[in-house]
Amino acid sequence: MLLLFPAILVILLPLSPTLGLVGAILVTVAAEGLLFLLAPRLEVSDGVLAVGPARIPVSLTGDTAHYRKADAMQARGPGLDARAFTLFRGWVDPVVRIDLTDPQDPAPYWLVSTRRPELLREAIAAERDATTGEHVASSSPPAANDPTVQSEPAEDAQPKDPSSPDPASPEAP
């Protein structure tokens, strides 16, 4: 994309400097617009996860996990199941794996690239909670060599009842 403007300018410049400049601007703007309009979209709304042309109800999704750096390379390469639905771009490092619970679907999971994997996982969980009323734990495997992946608090931690005594305290019966 960076070389499109000068290429068109060089092609049209011998005909006319004005034509070269106007043509280079128009072709570059048109190409950028097409790339923007044709880019795959990730959307979670109305109980449906839409990834590019594919759609699935969030009630049929299971655990989610995101990967970065070497873990993302492993998920996109040797660790990829051939049956999985994939929509990723090589220049976007993070990927999100979305397990599917639909027994009729031949794909065991979806693997999609996004620059904001945490936001996508939160949106899927929130939409699932809103449509089904149940919460499926989302997890990411620990990345030993990636300090950018942060661990999340346990989902199953129950709030402590203030009226019950703490068994570790000396006042407990």
Q: Tally the domains of the chain.
A: 2
Is 169 inside any structural domain? Answer: no
Q: Identify whether residues 103 and 56 lie together within a single domain.
A: yes
pLDDT in tens, the chain (173 residues): 778 999 999 999 999 999 999 999 999 999 999 988 888 889 999 999 999 999 999 999 999 999 999 999 999 999 999 999 999 888 899 999 999 999 999 999 999 999 999 999 999 999 998 887 655 555 544 444 443 333 343 333 344 444 444 444 444 44
CA distance 129 to 15: 62
**Sheet holding 42-45: strands in order across?**
42-45, 48-51, 54-57
Q: Identify whether residues 26 and 97 lie together within a single domain.
A: no
Q: Identify whether residues 50 and 98 lie together within a single domain.
A: yes
Q: Identify whether residues 34 and 46 lie together within a single domain.
A: no
Q: Identify whether residues 85 and 70 lie together within a single domain.
A: yes
Q: Identify whether residues 49 and 118 lie together within a single domain.
A: yes
Q: Identify whether residues 79 and 24 lie together within a single domain.
A: no
Q: What is the pTM of this model?
A: 0.64
Backbone angles phi, psi at 139, to 5 degrees: -140, 155
Domain of residue 85 covers 42-132
What per-residue confidence (pLDDT) applies to 13? 92
For strands 85-87 and 109-113, give the pairing. Answer: parallel
Alpha-helical segments (H) within the chain: 4-12, 17-38, 69-76, 117-132
Is 145 inside any structural domain? Answer: no
